[in-house]
Amino acid sequence: MFVTAAYAQQSTTTEGAEAHDAAAAGEVHTETGVAHEGEAGSGVFPPFDSTHFASQLLWLAITFGLFYLLMSKVIIPRIGGILETRHDRIAQDLDEASRLKGEADAAIASYEQELATAKAKGHQIADGAREAAKSKAVADRNAVEADLSKKIAAAEDRIADIKTKALADVGAIAEETATAVVKQLIGGTVTKAEIVAAVKASGN
Amino acid sequence: MSNDPTHQFLVNKIVPIEIGGIDFSFTNASLFMVATVGAAAGFLYLTTSQRGLVPTRLQSVSEMSYEFIASMLREGAGNGGMKFFPMVFSLFMFILTANLLGMFPYFFTITSQIIVTFALALFVIGTVLFYGFYKHGFGFLKLFVPHGVPGVLLPLVVSIEIISFLSRPISLSVRLFANMLAGHITLKVFAGFVTSLSALGALGIGGAILPLIMTVAITGLEFLVCFLQAYVFAVLTCMYLNDAVHPGSH
C-alpha cells in the first residue's frame, strides 16, 4: 500500500516538476534537447554534430597514436619484462628446490645404505659370536663327555676285574668249604680234583 | 549547469585552431582525450616503475590488465595474433580509462561521441583488412566462403558473410557509443528528477527518494558498463583479428 501510494505521489509530483521546469527554463532549453542555437551552433543532437568531427578525429589520432606508441615502446616491454623476470625467477627457484630435494634424497639414500650395512655387520658379528659360543659349548660338552666315559670305562674295568677276582676266590672258598663240610659229614676225605669238579658242576 | 541531459555531450572549443579552412580546434573532447592518455599511461608507468619482483597492489593491477588482455588475445586469435597485443592493449586501456573518466561529474565522456568510437572501430577493421590482404593476399577472401556449404547456397551465404563483415565497424562503434550515451543520459535524467522534485517542498523531497536510489544504483551499473564495454570492444577486436590471422578457419 505504501509503495503504490509513493509511486502515485511521485508520478504526480514528477509531472508537476517537469511542467514547472519547462516553464522556468523557458525558451532557452527544451526537454527534447533538439534546439541549442546558443551553445552548439547547430540544431542537431550533440554527439552527431558534424562540425567538430574533423577536430575530434585529429585529436583522437594524435592522442591515441601517442598512447599506442607509449604502450608498445615503454609500458608493454616493461610489464612483459617484469612478468618474464618473475617467471624466470620462479622457474629458477623451482629448479633450485628440486636440486636440493635431489641432494636430500641422495643423503637419505646413503644414510639408509650405511644403516643397512651397519645392521648387516652387526648381525654378522652377533652370528659369529653366537656360533663361536655354540661351538665352544659343544666342544666343552664333548670333552666332559669323553672324560666321563673314560672314567666310566675305567670304573667298569675295575668292577669287572674285582668281579672276576671275587669269582675266582668264590671257587677256592667253595672248595675249602666243601672239603671241610664233607670231612665233617662223612669223615672221609675227598680228593681235591673231585671237589673242583663238584664245585664246577654246581654251576658256578 | 543546464538541466538538459544532452548538454554534457556538447563539444566546446577551448583553443580555436583552423588549418586549411578545416576546424581542428582543441576542444573539451580533445582535452579529455589527452587526460585519458595521461591517466592511463601515467598509471601504468608509475605503478610499474619499481619493477618489483613481488608486486605492490597497484603494480598487480597493471600486470593483471596486461595478462588479462594477453590471455584474451591468445584465446581469441591464437599465438599468431600476439603481434597485435600492443594494439588491443592500447584500445582496451584507452576505452576503459575514457569510460571511467566519464563517470566523474562534469567530465566529458569521449566514448559517447559516435565519431570517436567509429574511428576506433575503423582502426580495428582497417587493421584486419590491411593485415589480412598483406598476409594472405586474395586468400583472405576465403573469409567470406565458409567450409561445407552446398554450391546452391553459396552465393546467399557469401553475401550474408560480406554484409556481416561490413556491418562490423558499425556494430562495434554503435555498441560502445550507445551504451555510454544512454547510460549518461539515464543518470542525468534521474539525477534531474531529484533536484527538480526536491525543489517542490516537503512532499517533493519525499518523492525524490526513489529517483535518488535509482541514481545511486545506476551509477554502480554504469561502472560495470564502463568495464564491460571496454572488454566487449577488446574481445570483438580479438575475434576480428583472428579472421585476419586465420581466414577460412570458420
**ipTM reported for the complex, 2 dp:** 0.89
What phi and psi, each to the nearest 5 degrees, are found at residue B26? -80, 110
Q: How many CB atoms lie within 10 A of CB A178?
A: 17
With 80 as the cut, is the pLDDT of residue A102 above it?
A: yes
Q: Is the dihedral of CA B148, B151, B153, B155 positive or negative?
A: positive
With 90 as the cut, is the pLDDT of residue A192 above it?
A: no
Average pLDDT over residues A163-190: 80
Q: List CB contacts (< 8 A) between B177 and chain A.
A: 47
With 70 as the cut, is the pLDDT of residue A20 above it?
A: no
Q: List CB contacts (< 8 A) between A43 and chain B.
A: none
pLDDT tens for A59-95 read 999 999 999 999 999 999 999 999 999 999 999 999 9
Residue B51, SS3 per DSSP: coil
Q: List CB contacts (< 8 A) between B29 and chain A.
A: 52, 55-56, 59
Distances (CA, A) of B100 to B20, B72, B95, B184: 35, 21, 8, 12
How far is the alpha carbon of B101 from chain A, nearest alpha carbon, in Å?
15
pLDDT tens for B13-33 read 888 888 888 888 888 899 999
> What would the grid cell of residue B210 be?
526513489
Q: List CB contacts (< 8 A) between B24 and chain A.
A: 54-55, 58-59
With 80 as the cut, is the pLDDT of residue A35 above it?
A: no
How does DSSP classify residue A98?
Answer: H
Nearest in space to B33 (alpha carbons), one of A18, A156, A56: A56
Nearest by CB to residue A46, choosing from B6, B93, B120, is B6
Give the residue ranges of chain B where pLDDT is below 50.
1
Q: A25: pLDDT confidence band, cut at 50, 70 and 90? A: very low
Per-residue model confidence (pLDDT) at position A43? 65
Nearest by CB to residue A47, choosing from B30, B41, B113, is B113
Angle at B231 between CA A55 and CA B166, to 5 degrees: 65
Average pLDDT, chain A: 79
Inspect the interface and report whether the beta carbons of B26 and A59 lie closer than 8 Å: yes
pLDDT tens for A127-169 read 999 999 999 999 999 999 999 999 999 999 999 999 888 888 8
How far is the alpha carbon of A82 from chain B, nearest alpha carbon, in Å?
6
Q: How many CB atoms lie within 10 A of CB B143?
A: 20
Average pLDDT over residues A9-15: 45
B234/B72 Cα distance (integer angstroms)? 8
What phi and psi, each to the nearest 5 degrees, are found at residue B246? -125, 75
Which position has the grid cell 526513489? B210
Nearest by CB to residue B115, choosing from A10, A56, A64, is A56
With 60 as the cut, is the pLDDT of residue A28 above it?
A: no
